[in-house]
Amino acid sequence: MTLSTLETASPALDLERIRADFPILDQEVNGHPLVYLDNAASTQKPAAVIDAIGHLYRHDYANVHRGVHELSHRATEAYEQARGKVARLLGIGDEGEFVWTKGTTEGLNLIAYTWGQANIRAGDEILLSVMDHHSNLVPWQLLAQRTGAKLRFLDIDGEGRLDLSALDDLLTERTKLVSIAHISNALGTINPVTEIAAKAHAVGAVMVVDGAQSAPHLPVDVPSLGADFYAFSGHKMCGPTGSGGLWGRREVLEAMPPFHGGGDMIDFVELESSTYAPLPLKFEAGTPNIAGAVGLGAAADYLASVGREAILAHERHLMAYALERIAEVPDLTVYGPRDPAARSGVVSFTLGDVHPHDIATILDGEGIAVRAGHHCCQPLMRRLCVPATARASFYLYSGTDDVDRLIDALHKARAVFGY
Ligand code: PMP
């Protein structure tokens, strides 16, 4: 695709209307209209989400699952309806398989502590990849330290794609668990998790998908990915911070011991022992993040109303445009797959030997918010032989005009640093 053939206006979304839904976008930063390109870290919230949280606290708030009074009924209904909304968005038919968490990190730790502690023994192997986020590395490191299991890693190729040629050798009868990011937050690479899950199952391993970056960007039908677990964060998909979920196959969740003990997760408690509530409450101890769930439910409604396929088409178009325009900037190295359809949401880059923090500071002066650093992927940065990258990341309200502003500012940054 060339610039002459690539329409600059996305055919998929009414961008003006979408942007009007996000109050925070309508402001100047450092004297320039804000361009928010830090969506892989966290996304902005539409008025529908902000209003749903406000409405709950103004009219319907009380603790859930306990009271017999009207407000507790209303809060419980809003909370459980939200579970249904998010489950439906992700294709999850059985709401018992949907556990509220405070995000991807908590979901992955839940698996490591409960499934891991019950199933992993000394000498077992856990397969991860060098591109994984610290949230999908450290919980397994801790599990390996507690149990004597061994961690193994898929490498990447020169374009930042998983090197699957080693997969058959890495998967053996010792492999008990495979956990891979669906989309890399540092490179944008979309990983073939369904293919990996099939191979993991063939050796009897359980497959975990870190869905932090795919739940927001791809029209994922979670159960049909063929995995056993899928963890995601609400704040990366227009929902509030501290909201998120973990999907697990019912028979796997049923067989797992609970995570946290406390109120709500029990059936019958005696002084010395207890029996546990049915799924999903068995994994939801204590007063939950009620407003977070309600807000994420509103976010799910919002994303469904815009259309998951339309968001994907819009972002694909934007990625193609961004990759093409960024290639115009001399001295820039772009990481990740060259094919725009093989990546999602993220463009990571370095400019000569300028530290990415300095690039981000110049861009901030132009009103453009990007991330610079290791993106919680220190092993990946070492693998790429860079201390850090600058990262522009998109969402449904991003447009080609944002990319144009980024490119203009990168030209300015080159001039500042004497390129
Ligand atoms: N995995 C990936 C791929 C991520 O991008 C992130 C967030 N940057 C996480 C896990 C952790 O998500 P959270 O901090 O919301 O728990």
Given a cut of 50, whether residue 3 has pLDDT beyond it is no
Given a cut of 80, whether residue 9 has pLDDT beyond it is no
pLDDT tens digits, one per residue of 266-285: 999 999 999 999 999 999 99
Q: What is the pLDDT of residue 275?
A: 97
Count of beta carbons in the 10 Å neighbourhood of residue 97 = 24
Residue 68 alpha carbon to ligand 1 centre in Å: 38
Which residues are known catalytic residues?
Answer: 376
The atom number, within ligand 1, closest to the CA of 132 reads 3
Given a cut of 70, whether residue 143 has pLDDT beyond it is yes
Please list, in sequence order, all residues whose beta carbon lies within 8 angstroms of the beta carbon of residue 41, skipping any fewer than 6 positions away: 371, 393
The atom number, within ligand 1, closest to the CA of 104 reads 16
Given a cut of 80, whether residue 8 has pLDDT beyond it is no
Residue 235 alpha carbon to ligand 1 centre in Å: 10
Question: Which CATH code for domain 50-305?
Answer: 3.40.640.10
Q: Calculate the average pLDDT of the chain.
A: 96
* Contact criterion met (CB below 8 Å) for 122 and 148: yes
Sheet holding 244-248, edge to edge: 98-101, 244-248, 229-233, 206-210, 175-181, 125-129, 150-154
Write out the E strands in 201-250.
206-210, 229-233, 244-248
Please list, in sequence order, all residues whose beta carbon lies within 8 angstroms of the beta carbon of residue 388, skipping any fewer than 6 positions away: 355, 356, 357, 372, 373, 374, 381
Residue 92 alpha carbon to ligand 1 centre in Å: 21
Given a cut of 50, whether residue 2 has pLDDT beyond it is no
Over range 285-291, report the average pLDDT: 97
Cβ of 105 closer than 6 Å to ligand 1, yes or no, is yes
Shortest CA distance to 397 belongs to which of 34, 154, 121, 2? 34
Given a cut of 50, whether residue 406 has pLDDT beyond it is yes
* Contact criterion met (CB below 8 Å) for 370 and 37: yes
What backbone torsions phi and psi does residue 66 show, to the nearest 5 degrees?
Answer: -125, -50
Per-residue tokens: 350? 């370095």
Q: What is the pLDDT of residue 4?
A: 42
**23: cis peptide before it, omega within 30°?**
no
Cβ of 103 closer than 6 Å to ligand 1, yes or no, is yes
Q: What is the pLDDT of residue 1?
A: 41
Given a cut of 60, whether residue 308 has pLDDT beyond it is yes
Q: What is the pLDDT of residue 160?
A: 97
Q: Please state, in angstroms and rounded to a whole number, the distance separating the CA atoms of residues 186 and 374.
A: 8
pLDDT grade for 7, boundaries at 50, 70 and 90: low
Given a cut of 90, whether residue 12 has pLDDT beyond it is no
Q: Using most ligand atoms within 8 A of CB, pick from 39, 106, 133, 229 the residue to mutate for ligand 1.
A: 133
* Contact criterion met (CB below 8 Å) for 265 and 203: no
* Contact criterion met (CB below 8 Å) for 48 and 298: yes
Q: Which helix (H) or strand (E) holds 113?
A: helix 104-113
pLDDT tens digits, one per residue of 345-354: 899 999 999 9
Domain ranges of the chain: 3-30+307-416, 50-305
Cβ of 185 closer than 6 Å to ligand 1, yes or no, is yes
Question: Cβ-count burial of 57 within 10 angstroms (0-12 exposed, 13-18 middle, 19+ buried)?
Answer: exposed
Residue 63 alpha carbon to ligand 1 centre in Å: 28
The atom number, within ligand 1, closest to the CA of 181 reads 3
Percent of the chain with pLDDT over 70: 97
Q: Using most ligand atoms within 8 A of CB, pick from 187, 217, 233, 237 the residue to mutate for ligand 1.
A: 233
Over range 26-32, report the average pLDDT: 98
Over range 305-319, report the average pLDDT: 96
pLDDT tens digits, one per residue of 167-189: 999 999 999 999 999 999 999 99
Please list, in sequence order, all residues whose beta carbon lies within 8 angstroms of the beta carbon of residue 130, skipping any fewer than 6 positions away: 153, 154, 155, 156, 379, 380, 383
Q: Give the 3-state secondary structure of 77-100.
A: HHHHHHHHHHHHHCCCCCHHHEEE
Which of 3.90.1150.10, 3.40.50.261, 3.20.190.10, 3.40.50.20 would CATH assign to domain 3-30+307-416? 3.90.1150.10
Given a cut of 70, whether residue 102 has pLDDT beyond it is yes
Cβ of 400 closer than 6 Å to ligand 1, yes or no, is no
Given a cut of 70, whether residue 49 has pLDDT beyond it is yes
Over range 65-72, report the average pLDDT: 90
Cβ of 135 closer than 6 Å to ligand 1, yes or no, is yes
Instruction: Provide the whole-model pTM.
Output: 0.97
* Contact criterion met (CB below 8 Å) for 291 and 240: yes
Write out the E strands in 219-295.
229-233, 244-248, 266-269, 274-276
Count of beta carbons in the 10 Å neighbourhood of residue 93 = 11
pLDDT grade for 67, boundaries at 50, 70 and 90: confident
* Contact criterion met (CB below 8 Å) for 351 and 199: no
Alpha carbon nearest to ligand 1 atom 5, residue: 185
Residue 272 alpha carbon to ligand 1 centre in Å: 37
